[in-house]
Chains A and B, each alone.
Chain A
Amino acid sequence: MDLKIASAVATAEERNAVDSLLGLAPETSQGGERNVIGHRVARGGESLRGLRHLLLPTLHAVNDRIGWLSRGAINYISQRLDIAPADIYGVATFYALFTTNERPARQVHVCVDLACRAMSGCKEDSIPNGAVASPCLGVCERAPAVLVIETGSTLRYEVLAPATTTEINDLVAGKSAGVEQEISAAVPQAPDASLVLLSRIGRVDPLSIDDYIASNGYVALRRAIAIGAEQVITEVTASGLVGRGGAAFPTGRKWSAVAGQPVKTRYLICNADESEPGTFKDRVLMEGDPFALVEAMTIAAFATGCQHGWIYLRGEYPRALKNLTNAVESARSRSMLGENILGSGFSFDITIFRGAGAYICGEETAIFNSIEGYRGEPRNKPPFPVEVGLFGKPTVVNNVETLLNVLPIINDTGEKYATWGTTGSKGKKLFCVSGAVNKPGVYEVTFGATLRELINLAGGLKTGSQLQAVLLGGAAGGFVGPQDLDLELTLEAARAAGTTLGSGVILVLDQSVDMVDQLQRIAAFFRDESCGQCVPCRVGTVRQQEALARLVKSSGTGNSAVDLQLLRDLGQVMRDASICGLGQTAHNAIDSALTRLKVFSA
């Protein structure tokens, strides 16, 4: 490309950060040091094409080291990857963890989302000076949560939860958050070897592949190789497993669609961009049982014929990043990943790809754009990912929890798995219980448990708490009321009751919670996280927020009817005409609060 680079030059440290990932630029290449002989030569173009997928990792490298992305840094990245500076600027400004303005190295991200504000956390206007508001950090079981990111020659993360205002002030002042709580604290059922998905949490060292192997690890992969790819898909289909990310698409059907593609280059993506407010199950699984995800991905790739896999991990999950990185490296060192896995002739490897602060990147086609080095905007469907996905190739995208379910299916057959659950919902399900319960955390149940049973499992309501409402499925889900406690938490019962299980969120709200405040936060969340591509979502989420703000003032007066109608109109156009699931569900929770809980109709 005929790059036009302005005069701003990267500092030595910025160049080092880029070079730490890309290596030194050859003298005869764009961005390289000019010498006497080669000073007229600056090769770019053809030799640099195909590096675009390194853009986000490179931006991370600079952002991690320097803390922000300067014009000079972007100019240097532009030369190294042969991408125009404006194009890079567009990508950098899409992601909330990147910034193009200089800022202090230490950033204190204070969660202001649903679970944290329900547990007396900060709101947008009550953040201590020097800290920044953050959408859900996925630490809801210990709400309210804070994540500290300190950039520099070594990137440092700290999580503090629960955090008081005083503690947040201390963190801003530079005080350490101390050691983070044990992973197993998020799983009140642990340790319990009889659990299916959570059996290793609290029992097996998540950093030791030997411990993993000693506790039934890599049995499923050996069996998968023994029975062959086709039989693996048959088992998964027979199990009745459906996607656990929220859309509930049959996993077996997705796998066989990819396996049947004429194109032989295929990719696997594990969607670990868990960002739905109130959801933290995938974080716990990746922190506490990372090898299981690596094994399950290997089986999925073996079954569908994928040569490479990506874990698209949300940027706010430092412990999951550390444990997964260790798991992938250990697996590689034992030939459980890489060439000729377990002598089967099958080769497969995994790249961990860090997200950079964008809820929309949990949308499967937005993940493709993000990995390919573009703004995380969803693509139009059709074509569907099973035909045209990442880099234009057939791609399997599965959620973390979905993949982990594959291990018991292969170990004990799909038929056995299908005996768990109800007619319409098979197997085991994780729920993220948070809010006004005694023992918040991730709970594993067999499909069929009721909402009341889940709340009881979580130790029941706190003393003095009276149930006001429960948010099922997160911001894209819906509210139910105290009258719905006997709702069976299955896909079919939720659908029949006009609600959704979504990503398994059960956020329990007691009488102390201001429902209007929760609704306003949901509206603000969707406005912040809309990618901005399509009009119904880009403008609709703003108009929805404005209408809610008016309703707060006019509630109970005759004026509210106009805005209630406006909200319904907005809900319909967002549901009918948005490009992706974000816009299509951006009104669901608000709608459920208006119709089920009668908020604003008093």
Chain B
Amino acid sequence: MSTQVTTGLQVRRSVELTIDGEKVTALEGSTLLDACRASGKEIPTLCYGDTITPKNACRVCMVELEGSRTLVPSCSRKVEAGMIVKTNNERTSHSRKLVLELLGSSVDLSLTKNVARWNEGYGAQPTRFGAPSYHHSDRDEAITGHHHQPDGSTAETVHQDVKVDNTLYVRDYSKCILCYQCVDACGEQWQNTFAITTAGRGFDARISTEFAVDLTDSACVYCGNCIQVCPTGALMFTSEYEMRQDGTWNEPEQTQTDTICPYCGVGCALTLHVQDNTIVKVTSPSDHSVTHGNLCIKGRFGFQHVQNRASD
């Protein structure tokens, strides 16, 4: 029997499907990930963000769907009545383990939440492909369709030097898993600035401005909405970056205070991250009806006046 739920003017039916042998109901239009999470399953996700249309690029959330030749990405596959889904069998575990290993062996995931726990849970050993190679600093110059033949002695990584070209935020693409969220946030999904893009192809694909110019020569408006959606710490406030370099970044000691941006009348929600009575970065709640996590340069970075002490 199907039930109906009214949300605004839309009537959404609920459909029945089977997840790991249990019958569950989910709203039409929701995803397998929603349904799995609602029934208490933990499905790892990396490229999935709650304010961006899923790109299903990382492939860590794959589940088995009866009748499908391949596994399917739960983050973007919509529920259908009668689906029979398995979230945790040998095939899905192998797939998740390998994805974690492939990313872990090529990208610096040290600041990515949950990865250490997942690696342990799935038995992923990113080092089994060999020692990582860090000698690439020329990824921005890669020639499409050409590469150097590897000898197998090391595992190639996406390492490149940290880009520090402005005073507000840094870009450390050694940590980039290519989730596309920053590109989508900068482009058509939120900001419509299109300062960054995915350039190149295959393993050489990277996030870049046009001709890899500095941000200061690009269309960037420093809204920082890319930092907001970055799941791996590849994009980071300069304040956070410098404190991490100095060894003074101490997240457990930080407080978070929600407030309203004082600059204009839009009423954006700000979350001030404060350490030692100093604002160290600003985010916005992704579920806030005004911002959906987005701010402008003033709300995101214009906080220094708050903490200019009289003695300064």
Q: Taking beta carbons and an 8 Å cutoff, which residues of A are in contact with B? A: 1-4, 6, 71, 74, 83-90, 93-96, 98-100, 124-125, 132-133, 135, 357-358, 375, 380, 520, 524, 527-536, 538-543, 545-553, 566, 569-570, 572-573, 575-579, 584
B208 touches A90 (CB 8 A): yes
Least CB distance from B220 to A in Å reads 9
Least CB distance from A124 to B in Å reads 7
B144 touches A541 (CB 8 A): no
Least CB distance from A242 to B in Å reads 17
Interface set, chain B 100-146, CB cutoff 8 A to A: 102-103, 105-106, 128-130, 143-146
Q: A84-B187, A358-B201 are in contact. List 19 more A-B contacts (CB 8 A).
A: A1-B194, A74-B210, A86-B210, A95-B144, A100-B211, A375-B198, A528-B146, A528-B147, A531-B201, A533-B55, A533-B178, A535-B103, A536-B95, A536-B98, A542-B150, A546-B152, A552-B152, A577-B98, A578-B70
A576 touches B62 (CB 8 A): yes
The answer to whether the Cβ of B56 comes within 8 Å of any Cβ in the partner chain is: yes
A530 touches B202 (CB 8 A): yes
Known contacts A93-B144, A380-B73, A532-B204: does B129 contact A549 (CB below 8 Å)? no
Interface set, chain B 51-100, CB cutoff 8 A to A: 55-60, 62, 70-71, 73, 76, 91, 94-95, 98-99
Known contacts A6-B213, A84-B194, A93-B144: does B70 contact A575 (CB below 8 Å)? yes
- Highest count of chain B CB atoms <10 Å: which of A71, A94, A535, A552: A535
Interface set, chain B 143-157, CB cutoff 8 A to A: 143-147, 149-153, 155-156
What are some 18 contacts across the A-B interface (CB < 8 A)? Answer: A1-B194, A4-B219, A83-B194, A86-B196, A93-B201, A530-B202, A534-B57, A535-B59, A538-B203, A542-B203, A543-B102, A543-B105, A549-B150, A576-B71, A576-B94, A576-B95, A577-B99, A579-B57
Known contacts A87-B187, A532-B202, A535-B58: does B152 contact A553 (CB below 8 Å)? yes
Residues of A within 8 A of B155 (CB): 543, 546
Known contacts A4-B219, A380-B76, A577-B62: does B144 contact A535 (CB below 8 Å)? no
B146 touches A133 (CB 8 A): yes
A549 touches B151 (CB 8 A): yes
A534 touches B58 (CB 8 A): yes
Residues of A within 8 A of B129 (CB): 543, 546-547, 566
Residues of A within 8 A of B73 (CB): 380
Q: Mark B26-44, 1 if CB is under 8 A from A, else 0.
A: 0000000000000000000
Known contacts A6-B217, A93-B144, A539-B105: does B152 contact A577 (CB below 8 Å)? no
Residues of B within 8 A of A546 (CB): 129-130, 150, 152, 155-156
The answer to whether the Cβ of B199 comes within 8 Å of any Cβ in the partner chain is: yes
Q: Mark B227-247, 1 if CB is under 8 A from A, else 0.
A: 000000000000000000000
Least CB distance from B60 to A in Å reads 8
In the complex the two chains form, what is the Cα distance from A98 to B145 in whole Å?
Answer: 11
A531 touches B202 (CB 8 A): yes
In the complex the two chains form, what is the Cα distance from A414 to B296 in whole Å?
Answer: 63
In the complex the two chains form, what is the Cα distance from A576 to B71 in whole Å?
Answer: 5
In the complex the two chains form, what is the Cα distance from A584 to B70 in whole Å?
Answer: 9
Pairs A-B, 7 closest by C-beta atoms: A90-B197, A532-B205, A84-B194, A549-B152, A96-B145, A550-B152, A573-B98
Least CB distance from B107 to A in Å reads 9
Least CB distance from A103 to B in Å reads 10
Least CB distance from A136 to B in Å reads 12
In the complex the two chains form, what is the Cα distance from A530 to B204 in whole Å?
Answer: 10
Least CB distance from B76 to A in Å reads 6
Interface residues on B, range: 35 or more
- With both beta carbons as reference points, the residue of chain B lying nearest to A1 in the complex is identified as B192
The answer to whether the Cβ of B209 comes within 8 Å of any Cβ in the partner chain is: yes
Interface set, chain B 184-202, CB cutoff 8 A to A: 187, 192-202
In the complex the two chains form, what is the Cα distance from A553 to B153 in whole Å?
Answer: 10
Residues of B within 8 A of A85 (CB): 210, 219
Known contacts A542-B203, A566-B129: does B149 contact A549 (CB below 8 Å)? yes
Q: Mark B143-177, 1 if CB is under 8 A from A, else 0.
A: 11111011111011000000000000000000001
Residues of A within 8 A of B257 (CB): none
- With both beta carbons as reference points, the residue of chain A lying nearest to B217 in the complex is identified as A6
Residues of A within 8 A of B192 (CB): 1-2
A539 touches B102 (CB 8 A): yes
- With both beta carbons as reference points, the residue of chain B lying nearest to A377 in the complex is identified as B198
- Highest count of chain B CB atoms <10 Å: which of A87, A132, A547: A87
The answer to whether the Cβ of B250 comes within 8 Å of any Cβ in the partner chain is: no
Least CB distance from B66 to A in Å reads 14
Partner of A94, one of B95, B150, B201: B201
Residues of A within 8 A of B143 (CB): 99
Least CB distance from B69 to A in Å reads 8
- Highest count of chain B CB atoms <10 Å: which of A2, A88, A124, A576: A576
B57 touches A86 (CB 8 A): no
- With both beta carbons as reference points, the residue of chain B lying nearest to A132 in the complex is identified as B146
B195 touches A84 (CB 8 A): yes
B197 touches A89 (CB 8 A): yes
The answer to whether the Cβ of B255 comes within 8 Å of any Cβ in the partner chain is: no
A572 touches B202 (CB 8 A): no
Partner of B156, one of A542, A551, A572: A542
Known contacts A545-B150, A546-B155: does B201 contact A532 (CB below 8 Å)? yes
A88 touches B210 (CB 8 A): yes
In the complex the two chains form, what is the Cα distance from A572 to B195 in whole Å?
Answer: 37
A94 touches B194 (CB 8 A): no
Least CB distance from B87 to A in Å reads 14
In the complex the two chains form, what is the Cα distance from A493 to B58 in whole Å?
Answer: 36
Partner of B70, one of A132, A528, A541, A576: A576
A573 touches B95 (CB 8 A): yes
In the complex the two chains form, what is the Cα distance from A99 to B76 in whole Å?
Answer: 34
B145 touches A529 (CB 8 A): yes
In the complex the two chains form, what is the Cα distance from A584 to B72 in whole Å?
Answer: 13
Least CB distance from B126 to A in Å reads 11
In the complex the two chains form, what is the Cα distance from A266 to B203 in whole Å?
Answer: 35
In the complex the two chains form, what is the Cα distance from A37 to B204 in whole Å?
Answer: 48
Partner of B98, one of A124, A132, A553, A572: A572
B99 touches A573 (CB 8 A): yes
- Highest count of chain A CB atoms <10 Å: which of B56, B102, B200: B102
- With both beta carbons as reference points, the residue of chain B lying nearest to A88 in the complex is identified as B210
A536 touches B59 (CB 8 A): yes
Known contacts A380-B73, A527-B203, A576-B95: does B57 contact A533 (CB below 8 Å)? yes
Residues of B within 8 A of A577 (CB): 59, 62, 70-71, 95, 98-99
Residues of B within 8 A of A552 (CB): 152
A534 touches B147 (CB 8 A): no
- Highest count of chain A CB atoms <10 Å: which of B178, B197, B200: B197
Least CB distance from A448 to B in Å reads 27
In the complex the two chains form, what is the Cα distance from A378 to B81 in whole Å?
Answer: 27
Known contacts A545-B150, A575-B70: does B201 contact A89 (CB below 8 Å)? no
- With both beta carbons as reference points, the residue of chain B lying nearest to A78 in the complex is identified as B210
The answer to whether the Cβ of B259 comes within 8 Å of any Cβ in the partner chain is: no
Residues of B within 8 A of A87 (CB): 187, 194, 197
In the complex the two chains form, what is the Cα distance from A218 to B57 in whole Å?
Answer: 46
Least CB distance from A125 to B in Å reads 7
Residues of B within 8 A of A575 (CB): 70
Least CB distance from B156 to A in Å reads 6
Residues of B within 8 A of A88 (CB): 210
Least CB distance from A498 to B in Å reads 16
In the complex the two chains form, what is the Cα distance from A261 to B143 in whole Å?
Answer: 42
In the complex the two chains form, what is the Cα distance from A546 to B146 in whole Å?
Answer: 16
Residues of B within 8 A of A551 (CB): 152
